[in-house]
Structure 1
């Protein structure tokens, strides 16, 4: 009976996910074809990744005074992660992010995560998304730009798949981040299986199975953020970055976000959770990224 109820709930979830995600897929495909004129503070780069065995693009937004400031001036960094079927340029092309950043002295890096759930794949050796970001991209940014490279000056945040990835990075690499943020996070991704997903949305099912492998795999266990928090000893909890989460009350992921926050409360993890009117869409994320920048100013000294 419980299994049947779960399947019904998951079917409803997938229907909603497909409805909201399909426009994102179409938009993501269109981005690659359109020529976009970037503001002077924004630039695209490519990193020749040895781990991924291919070039990985990323976009950087620097403070408005970056090019005219003293050569010794250095800045905190925020990494922004996109959602499933999205790409590194989504945040910049679908929001007025450069405009929102103008009052702040942050460097913002928008990473490419493809459909990889910011996790090292259990099935494709060169799809090492987690290790690529933590071991190649972050050092690349600290070398190429005038950053403040210590933990207290670095944050990571993302939407949907990127929200999951951001929180996971904070849990697994607390020495790297002072603040992590999730907007409409797909927090239960590591527990989804081919059986529960079915074929309602092939891109989702394919990505989950490619990254996490079979039910009960080592990759699933090591990247299930519910399990990571539940099993975390108190001494490590005290070293975690501050966790920020928000989710729209009309979002199909609100239930899993509430469940995760209950676990954070139980384990006494420092966090803030906002439940706000909104759906799983860019109108919601555009509003929340502005809130996150304001919060970041308090944490990234």
Structure 2
């Protein structure tokens, strides 16, 4: 009887401890803010979410680095805050985090669809909006972009196309082979590429191919690239493309970090990676200030 009573007490204590920890984590998580931008390039209102660092409202003179997180195919701007604990992980850092809407647009300006200009929207409208609306450090050395799958491709492409805008880029399970994706070869994923990019061999495909962009960068210009963080699960169907891109970076001696980890193409992996990447970003930004 005493043993039973003791076990019951221990169970209650353990349950209370878990509950208290969950409540504490929720209490320290950053508040998610819904925002909208009246986009001329997209000819509609574009939603996005913002996480402001703790103390933002009171530290009126302080300015902050910004991290843009891009979602994947079939996803939306809400995914990062709904499907990961990024609001909790970010609470100990001094970042502003922005999660834009990218729909299934592959973060390019599509020649095939009117007002589907996701690349120009992010570069020419969203980033200036964030810098004007919030107390950001509005310069290349304090701006970071990362994403998963389609968003990992998008982040890498933005870094290669606009190295003057970003100090660090992160790609988790990046979908890099867009120039060869077709409905016939890659099913529904390839179909979205056909719809957005046009046929294989088109100028749009070549202009937005991360392999072409990287190999077309001169050795001198490689020194201007942002630091690159790549990761992929070893059981992910996109694993080989991440390993291949790591190989290209090594051959050309481009500073980067590459991680192969157990995992598949899912939110368990991306939740872990966004947590890791925030720490990478914090170290990278701190190192640049020394």
TM-score in terms of structure 1 length? 0.83
Q: Does 1:300 align with 2:264?
A: no
Match of 1:55 in 2: 45
Q: Does 1:150 align with 2:129?
A: no
Select which of 121, 140, 165 maps to 2:129: 140
Q: How does 1:177-256 map to 2 (within 5 A)?
A: 177-197=166-186, 200-201=187-188, 204-256=189-241
Q: How does 1:35-50 map to 2 (within 5 A)?
A: 41-50=31-40
CA distance in structure 1 between the partners assigned to 2:276 and 2:72 by the alignment: 19
Deviation of the 1:162 alpha carbon: 0.3
- Ranked by relative contact order (alpha carbons within 8 Å, sequence separation 6 or more), the top structure is 1
The secondary structure found in structure 2 opposite 1:134 is helix
Q: Does 1:122 align with 2:111?
A: yes
| Gapped regions of structure 2 (runs ≥ 5) | 1-28
CA distance in structure 2 between the partners assigned to 1:168 and 1:255 by the alignment: 18
CA distance in structure 1 between the partners assigned to 2:264 and 2:184 by the alignment: 26
Give 4+ residue runs of structure 1 displaced > 3 Å after superposition.
none
CA distance in structure 2 between the partners assigned to 1:196 and 1:267 by the alignment: 30
TM-score in terms of structure 2 length? 0.87
CA distance in structure 2 between the partners assigned to 1:211 and 1:293 by the alignment: 31
Q: Does 1:289 align with 2:279?
A: no
Select which of 259, 266, 270 maps to 2:244: 259
CA distance in structure 2 between the partners assigned to 1:86 and 1:273 by the alignment: 25
Deviation of the 1:122 alpha carbon: 2.3
Q: Provide closer, same or farther for how the CA distance between residues 122 and 195 of structure 1 changes in structure 2, counting only shifts above 3 A.
A: farther
Deviations 1:106-127 (A, max 9, x none): 0000010000111111201310
- Structure 1 vs Structure 2 CA RMSD: 1.2
The secondary structure found in structure 1 opposite 2:221 is helix
Deviations 1:48-96 (A, max 9, x none): 1000111110000000111121x22100000000000000000000111
Instruction: Determine if contact 2:179/2:201 at 8 Å carries over to the other structure.
Output: no
